[in-house]
Chains A and B, each alone.
Chain A
Amino acid sequence: MAEKITTTDNQYVLFKLDNEYYGIDILHVETIEKVMDITRVPHAPYYVEGVINLRGEVVPVINLRKRFDLPQVELNDESRIIIISIEEIVVGLLVDASSEVLQFDTETIDDVPNFSDRLKNDYVKGIGKDNERIIILLDLKKVLGNTDTNEEL
């Protein structure tokens, strides 16, 4: 791992959500911001927390807890908004905490087993392992994608 660290291959930004660790491909991550003033957007999907002013650009923020149907918690100092950019879509992901970047060798990433009911398998691209930790690698397109099947307004 040490000699490969200079490349961005298989590097993942890790964040925490309800005691689980998740990872998203670093290539899609623009910045990680502290939580700022969020303006609610009426008629937006229920998991869209609202929009923020990201240095002059208006960026929507998805509350990942809501997106994954996890219980809501109060925002705190640890909360972060991870700004991701994928296929010209720029979106913020509201997460509990984010701190590190990890690299996984392709062979250490496992396929998705039939996962717990709580999280739809759809969002998961694979499972990364870091010692004893299990990291859920997200498929961002699916996280952002159409959610008609999942809509619970």
Chain B
Amino acid sequence: MDMNQYLEIFIEESKEHLENMNQSLLELENNHSDISLVHEIFRIAHTLKGMSATMGFNKVANLTHEMENVLQLLRSNEIELSEKIVDVLFECLDTLEGYINQIANSGEEGELDSDYLVKKLNQILQGEPESENNSKEEVSSTNESNSNDIHIEVEEFSKNVALKAAAEGFNCYKMQIDLNPNCMLKAARAFIIFNTLEKDCEILKSNPPVEDIEDEKFDTDFELIIISKVDGETIRKRIMNISEVENVLIEEIDVNELNIQAKDIETVEEERTVDTKNKEKDEKKSNKSKKPKLGKTVRVDIDRLDNLMNLVSELIITRSRLEEMDDSGRKHDINEAVEYLGRITTSLHDAVMKVRMVPIERVFNRFPRMVRDLSKELGKEISLVMLGEETEVDRTVIDEIGDPLIHLIRNSIDHGIEDPETRKKHGKPEIGTVKLIAYPDGNSVVIEVEDDGQGINIEKVKAKAIQNGLITEEQAENIDEKEAVNLLFKSGFSTADKISDISGRGVGLDVVKTKIEALGGIVEVKTSKSGSTFTIRLPLTLAIIQALLVNVGMEKYAIPLNSIKEIVTIDAKSIRKIQEQEVVLYRNTTLPILRMNKILQVDSDACDEEDLIVVVVKKGDKTAGFVVDNLIGQQEIVIKSLGKYLLGIKAIAGATILGNGQVALIVDINSLF
């Protein structure tokens, strides 16, 4: 069967499961006694095992199976949860993630090795590493002798109950019940049998499973493992008394033997199937050379899709309405229809946006793990507080925001938060806190990374900036705190020296800034002795923006509204030339004047006019005035890329399609400063 069609769903779901597993593991680490978390992790591992085995991803299936074994022991309190086990489970999680990512990229699991993890898991299972070899041998021998007469597998869970039961004087039986082939209501009959048994026995396991028996998914016989104080013959007679029961076989099982057998049979059988499956897969592999490549998917709330659907149908209705209007159509009707059309498109836009919205949780979820690892690595105790995970952001933003946030959080933990002793000395709680806060603010999303560390040492930053030749000593004396902090974002800052030498935070902050600005957002820093806050402000969506359409020469260009400060008219005579740069004194500051027609290589005679229309734009603290020929107006525009071929064209951020089908280019203001 061709599984490729299910691959996307598989990957999407696996990722979701792994995310949940990650969370549960993190919680488990802090709360070793919470058995429900073990159950949860077990459930996830089990689901993953099933899913991946179906898809033929045996490495995943194998590893999850081994995890299950260990989790099972935890679940039944047979082994104590230790730091080491959690670490191994985390390692397993990482490896599983590796597999899934590999599958997403290439459609195959890749070469990632998990054997050592399996070994580690087995060591946990067996308590001691050296017993490994012995048990392996035992496995093969017991398997051969027992696989024939024991049809029914005993899970660890039942086994433990059986063990306990045996200790309390219960007997454990294996029984096979044959129903009369003419039996009409097999399920009902089985139900009666179960009921009868349950009076003084406990059914540990049935083959086929109880659910299948209830659904009548069995032939005429089924097998059970039960424990009871009553002796086998009595039970047999009791069951035989039920009508339509043809035969009952019952035999006692030695519980202690069961212990070994059950576990080993399971693993060996698994190994066997895995082997054959691997072979099959190898064969298949040689046949299909084409690797599927996967697109990105978004899971969408069905209500949102319905809404979208409704709007589109309304759109179609309106179109018919417009089509039916003949030339005699009154202007009033047309106006009405157009107005209606306008309303629908606005709602449609809204609806489409919502479909693309994803809770920022998706990004946030990976941080608890990162913080855990980092705090272990650095020997600092950190508590991560996350707020507003439900804040929704456009899919495109989600994809891009992860790396900058990782940088910032790393920075906070690495440089911001002091080691426990220093913290104690300063009267701070030993455990440092990093807060990750997200909230919507109008048309943008704000994400804050806040820590209660030592803040940024301005003097050290200055010293380093001088050392790196970013500023002169003279400049250093004159700049204020804010400017000094902004030095951190300078590209030369981080690369020049070793990260560890000063507390100055500068590890790739220039990268963070570049990235955020590329997304149309801004980063700000606030810092004090009691901690710093990095604030990222991002537009809700990257696909649709408000823009000002202007004429430059005969051409139309769009300037993103979020970078526009104001629009003014300036007398051409007031422009002065300083070192080849035109400037004008505007509100007591010098405003550099840039001629749009020169930047965009357009013929235009706007320069000769007396009153110049100037669009004042800002980038951070800097402002500049751009001379345009004419203003057309404000419009919501859909950003389209210029395509791979014209990647990175100077001064142009993209294109948009105007109402008349014409393409207008979007000016990249950020690149012009």
Contact = CB atoms under 8 A, between A and B. Distances in A.
Interface of A: 37, 39-44, 48, 50-53, 56-60, 88-91, 144
Given A42-B651, A58-B643, A90-B643, 7 more contacts: A41-B642, A41-B649, A42-B599, A42-B649, A42-B650, A43-B649, A43-B650
A40 B553 CA distance: 12
Interface stretch (B187-195, B236-244, B325-333, B660-668): B660-668
Given A89-B644, A91-B645, A58 B601 contact: no
Nearest to A40: B555
Given A42-B600, A43-B652, A51-B655, A37 B661 contact: yes
Contacts of B665: 39, 41-42, 51
B260 interface: no
Contact of B640 (A37, A44, A58, A89): A58
Interface in B622-665: 640-646, 649-652, 654-655, 657, 661-665
Interface of B: 555, 599-602, 640-646, 649-652, 654-655, 657, 661-665
A53 B661 contact: yes
A43 B601 contact: yes
A101 B572 CA distance: 59
A39 B664 contact: yes
Contact of A58 (B600, B650, B655): B655
A41 B643 contact: no
Contact of A44 (B646, B657, B662, B664): B646
A42 B555 CA distance: 11
Q: Which 6 A-B pairs have the closest CB atoms?
A: A39-B663, A43-B650, A58-B655, A58-B640, A42-B600, A42-B601
A37 B600 contact: no
15 contacts: A39-B655, A40-B555, A41-B642, A42-B602, A42-B649, A43-B651, A43-B652, A48-B646, A51-B646, A53-B662, A53-B663, A56-B657, A58-B657, A89-B643, A144-B645
B652 A42 contact: yes
Contacts of B644: 88-90
A56 B657 CA distance: 7
Contacts of A39: 555, 655, 662-665
A60 B662 contact: no
Contacts of B646: 41, 44, 48, 51, 60
A90 B647 CA distance: 12
Contacts of A42: 599-602, 649-652, 665
Contacts of B640: 57-58
B315 to A, nearest CB: 15
Nearest to B662: A37
B663 A51 contact: yes
Nearest to A91: B645
Contacts of A56: 657
Nearest to B638: A56
Main secondary structure of the interface of B (DSSP, over half): mixed
A60 B642 CA distance: 7
A25 to B, nearest CB: 18
Contacts of B657: 53, 56, 58
A134 B644 CA distance: 33
Contacts of A43: 601, 649-652
A60 B643 contact: yes
B172 to A, nearest CB: 64
A35 B640 CA distance: 21
Contacts of A59: 643
B645 A41 contact: no
Contacts of B650: 42-43
Contacts of A58: 640-643, 654-655, 657, 663
Contacts of B663: 37, 39, 50-53, 58
A113 B193 CA distance: 90
A91 B644 CA distance: 9
Contacts of A44: 646, 649
A5 B524 CA distance: 64
Contacts of A89: 643-645
Task: Tell which of B601, B645, B652, B662 has the most Cβ of chain A within 10 Å.
Answer: B645
B660 to A, nearest CB: 9
Contacts of B642: 41, 51, 58, 60
Contacts of A57: 640
Nearest to A88: B644
Nearest to A90: B643
A89 B643 CA distance: 7
A50 B657 CA distance: 14
B645 A60 contact: yes
Contacts of B664: 39
A59 B654 CA distance: 11
A57 B662 CA distance: 11
Contacts of A50: 663
Contacts of B655: 39, 51, 58
A42 B642 CA distance: 12
A65 B558 CA distance: 30
A123 B651 CA distance: 30
Contacts of B645: 60, 89-91, 144
A50 B600 CA distance: 13
Contact of A41 (B599, B641, B652, B661): B652
A115 B602 CA distance: 38
Nearest to B597: A42
Contacts of A48: 646
Contact of A91 (B641, B643, B654, B662): B643
A152 B288 CA distance: 47
Contacts of A60: 642-643, 645-646
Contacts of B602: 42
Task: Tell which of A39, A40, A42, A90 has the most Cβ of chain B within 10 Å.
Answer: A42
A93 to B, nearest CB: 11
A78 B665 CA distance: 28
A55 B338 CA distance: 22
A42 B661 CA distance: 20
Nearest to A45: B646
Nearest to B553: A40
Nearest to A56: B657
A88 B644 CA distance: 8
B644 to A, nearest CB: 5
